[in-house]
Amino acid sequence: MEQLQENIKKTADLLERSSHTVVLTGAGVSTESGVPDFRSPGSGLWTMLDPELFTIQGFKANPKAFYEGGTQFVRMLGEAEPNEGHTVLAELEKRGLVKAVITQNVDGLHQKGGSKKVLEIHGTLSTASCMLCSRQVSIEEVAADVEEGLLPPLCVECGEPLKPDVVLFGEPLSPDYKEAMEEARKADLIMVVGSSMQVSPANQLPAYCDNLVIINRTPTFYDQQARVVVNESTARVMRLLLEELDKRK
């Protein structure tokens, strides 16, 4: 506990001295909202679903199987609520201590938790688009079709399958990635929150900054060069960090 408090104080010091802090988040920031990560043994998404279904080739070959496999996950995301990891980051942005959140997540919980500048480098599950004519619809419209048994949901304009606007394996990252690189280059502090930093090219972003704070349950590639490493629950750490900052007012 003493070491944790010391790390919290160091993180608060770095935040207060920084003029441009950027936060990079991964699946670990949402697990306490009931959203599974991808790789945890026994509970990760890839232990429940076939990753091949979530390649762009898999989607094109069998969009019905994609929706059959992914519907439960989408329903789970729709029921998820932000946890303290999300809401504290939104509060830090409100106070001017965080300039942007770059997220690998597609669950929309940062926005739901109050964050304003969120760069979704792996896309979003809030909309879906036709792969032929690019017509975009809300995910609620897609969900309604799925509930009625329309698998896959089809574009009303051209009859082609609608694909959620998430980045599948084999696709380029979303346009937000370019702005994410610009934010990482401007940053004088990058906080990695809830990411194991195993997925490329998102794991290249911390390399743009010399000042790193890593808050993640398990070790990451960047731990040795980070100023602070905290292997704890992200929600708990963010709550303690806000409490430490409040003491300094």
Last residue of a domain, one of 150, 166, 182: 166
Query: Residue 194 CA to chain centroid, in angstroms?
Result: 9
Which secondary structure element, helix H or strand E, spans residue 173, and what is its range?
Answer: none
Q: Are residues 16 and 65 in the same domain?
A: no
Catalytic residue list: 122
- Comparing CA positions, the residue from 60, 201, 65 lying closest to residue 122 is 201
Residues of the chain below pLDDT 70 = 37-50
- Residue 192 and residue 116 share a domain: yes
Please give the pLDDT value at position 43: 46
**Which residue type does 107 have?**
D
Split into its structural domains, the chain has a count of: 2
| Domain co-membership, 139 together with 177 | no
157 and 54 in a common domain: yes
Residue 49: per-residue pLDDT: 64
CA dist 135 and 151 (Å) reads 18
Are 183 and 65 in the same domain? no
> CATH number, domain at 21?
3.40.50.1220
Same domain, 86 and 131: no
- Domain holding 143, by residue range, is 38-79+124-166
CA distance 230 to 8: 8
pLDDT one-digit tens code per residue, 222-242: 999 999 999 999 999 999 999
User: Does one domain contain both 96 and 202?
Assistant: yes
Residue 218 in contact with residue 231, Cβ under 8 Å? yes
Regarding whether 235 and 202 lie in a shared domain, the answer is: yes
Same domain, 30 and 47: no
The whole-number pLDDT of residue 53 equals: 76
Same domain (yes/no): 248, 195: yes
pLDDT at 78: 73
Residue 129 · residue 135 · CB < 8 Å: yes
Contact 104, 156 (CB under 8 A): no
User: Looking at residue 71, which CATH number applies to its domain?
Assistant: 3.30.1600.10
Q: Which residues of 77-105 are buried (b: 16+ CB within 10 A; e: fewer)?
A: beebebbbbbbbbbbbbeeebbbbbbbbb
| Kind of pairing between the strands at 162-166 and 123-130 | antiparallel
Residues 148, 208: one domain? no
Q: Is residue 88 located within the same domain as residue 144?
A: no
